[in-house]
Amino acid sequence: MFVLSAPSGTGKTSMARKLMEIDNHIHWSVSVTTRQMRGNERNGIDYHFVSHEKFKEMVANGELLEYAEVFGNFYGTPRAQVEEFLNCGEDVIFDIEWQGHRQLVSSAREDVASVFILPPTKKELMNRLQLRNTDCLNTINKRMDHANFELSHWHEYDYHIINRNLDESVEKLYAVLRAERLKKKRRIGLANFVGDLLREEINEML
């Protein structure tokens, strides 16, 4: 489970989508949310949009790996879709806040690698929020007020990338993903492979 977190507008969603374009073995975790659908969003692709009642039911039934409340709306990760990918040996990328990350770490630390994305400056963060043209001024101000609180959790993450340039940041993100895949604990079958090497006999020695 490859977790990306950052204040809104830092670029984590863009980075995640570009990463999936260059790697076929990592898949998007489609979150469930109670917030209203935005104009260009598609149900089941960007988010699973549900009512507050349905969300509470999913929590009660243990259907979510993690969930959190953000700006009065709830977000969560459906357990079934993630476990399906993991059972096939595939990776899953999460675009979630520190609350969800903390829950995943507490329940499955060995299966989690996390990256916190930082903006180069607060002024740049504000500019990005305004340029994406998805929120009203009041919402942008709320996101900026909340940014300090989100930034204060930076130390809980394994890796950190300052997103000054999108393409360069994606390269760094891909390097982290590849390094995590090469860790001994994630190389399923490696012990058997080394054992076979040790037992292999050759007829001639140089």
The DSSP bridge partners found for residue 161 are 117
- Whether 187 is in a domain gets the answer no
Predicted structure pTM score: 0.84
Write the CA distances from 203 to 35, 196, 197, 198, 206, integer angstroms: 68, 16, 14, 15, 10
Q: Considering only CA atoms, which of 96, 48, 49 is closest in space to residue 69?
A: 96
- Whether 202 is in a domain gets the answer no
Q: Which helix (H) or strand (E) holds 80?
A: helix 79-87
pLDDT tens track, the chain, 206 positions: 999 999 888 889 899 999 999 999 999 999 999 998 887 888 888 899 999 999 999 999 999 999 988 878 999 999 999 999 999 989 999 999 899 999 999 989 999 999 999 999 988 888 877 777 666 777 777 777 778 889 999 999 999 999 999 999 999 999 999 999 999 988 888 999 999 999 998 877 65
Residue 124's domain is classified under what CATH number? 3.40.50.300
Number of domains in the chain: 1
Query: pLDDT tens, 62-80?
Result: 999 999 888 789 999 999 9
- Whether 153 is in a domain gets the answer yes
- Whether 201 is in a domain gets the answer no
Calpha distance 178→172 (Å, rounded): 10
- Whether 45 is in a domain gets the answer yes
- Whether 56 is in a domain gets the answer yes
Calpha distance 153→139 (Å, rounded): 22
- Whether 192 is in a domain gets the answer no
Task: Return the SS3 of 43.
Answer: strand
The pLDDT score that the predictor gives to residue 69 is: 87
The pLDDT score that the predictor gives to residue 145 is: 77
Domain extent for 28? 2-181
Query: pLDDT tens, 3-27?
Result: 999 988 888 989 999 999 999 999 9
